[in-house]
Each structure stands twice: as structure tokens, then as C-alpha cells.
Structure 1
Amino acid sequence: MSNLPLFRDPWAKREAWRKHPVFSNRAMFGSMFPGLGIAIVAFSAYVVADNFYGKVKKEEQKH
């Protein structure tokens, strides 16, 4: 077995960062739109509150 050629990648240490979990597709997609989830929740709350407030104002104007 000692006669077998040993093949090593001389650049393996310099390319190791590419396999780090931070650079996975899931992590990249998750950080593509930071704050999008919070923005959707805030906008939805605004729309619900505006619709509720608009209905209350219409009922007050009818009386």
C-alpha cells in the first residue's frame, strides 16, 4: 500500500470556506430579504387596523 500514489489537493485549505454552512443555499435565501417577515406582519396589522377604524368612522358619520 505504500507504493500507491498519494493525491492531495494543495488548495483544499483555501477552498474549505465554500463548504461552510453560512454559504449554503438556504442561508443565502434566508438573508436575501432581511426584515421581510417583520414588514409583512406590520403591514398586515396596519391594513386590519385601518379597515376597522374606517368602519367605525363610517358608522359614526351615518348617525
Structure 2
Amino acid sequence: MNILAHKCLMLAYGEGRQRVNWQHMRYAAADTDAIANSWHQLPLLGAALLWLGALRGRL
């Protein structure tokens, strides 16, 4: 989950944004082998997305 969060933050930073959006999360998940190759682990992805959503202050 830390790798996914780090990739999201780096994507946002690279675009000059101060907040992570859903597109950043989607790109980070696609780029993370542990998630991209293991779709049977959807609860992990769901937990990661909820955590990142909480970081955005949306929950």
C-alpha cells in the first residue's frame, strides 16, 4: 500500500498538483505489479483506494 500511495503522490507532484485524484490512483494501480497482476486481491486495492481517499479529505 505504501508503494501505491507513493506512486500516486509522485504522479500528482509531476503534474504540479497538490492533491491526488482518482486518475492518479488508477495509473498507480496499473503500474504496480502486486495489484496489476493480482486482481484476485481486490480487497487490498479497495483498502488502498479508501486510504488514499481519506488522505484527500473526501471521506
TM-score, with structure 2 as normaliser: 0.30
Greater fraction of residues in helix: 2
Rg comparison, structure with higher value: 1
Q: Which has the higher contact order (CA 8 A, sep 6+)?
A: 2
- What TM-score comes out, normalization by structure 1 length? 0.28
